[in-house]
Amino acid sequence: MRCEMTELIRVQVMLEKSDQAELQEIAQEQGKSVSEILRELVRRYLEEQRRAETERFRRTLAKVREIRERNAARYGVYEGDILRDVRDEYEREQKEKWQ
């Protein structure tokens, strides 16, 4: 349970009657309000979504790393400064156009 004071906003949620009854029962058993139970459920869901997103990101990075390693083994690694080299080539092309 959160200790800090947070600003709460009112929202309206439509629930099935059986779900509302079960929530009410759980709230009574735990000595909490239905709102507290719902806030806890929402927080858990949001945390789960953040963890899942982090895991998807981690898997994507692993795939990118694998592709980079496979390409490095197949084609080698460019040792130059690619941005500088591209910029130099662009400037050479521009000079040739205007000469």
Residue-wise pLDDT for 44-83, tens only, equals: 999 999 999 999 999 999 999 999 999 999 999 988 899 9
Is 24 inside a domain boundary?
Answer: yes
pLDDT score of 99? 80
Is 6 inside a domain boundary?
Answer: no
Is 56 inside a domain boundary?
Answer: yes
Residue 96 region, left (φ>0) first, then alpha (ψ -120 to 50), else beta? alpha
pTM of the model: 0.64
Burial string for 20-37 (b: 16+ CB within 10 Å, else e) reads eeebeeebeeeeeebeee
Q: Could you report the per-residue pLDDT of 1-11, keeping only the tens digit for each?
A: 555 678 999 99
Query: How many whole angstroms separate alpha carbon 97 and alpha carbon 99?
Result: 6
Tokens of 59: 């898997």
pLDDT score of 34? 97
Is 91 inside a domain boundary?
Answer: yes
pLDDT score of 4? 67
Is 1 inside a domain boundary?
Answer: no
Structural domain count, the chain: 1
Q: Find the Cα–Cα–Cα–Cα dihedral 32, 35, 36, 37, rounded to 10°.
A: 80
In which domain, by residue range, is 57 found? 17-98
Could you tell me how many residues make up the chain?
A: 99
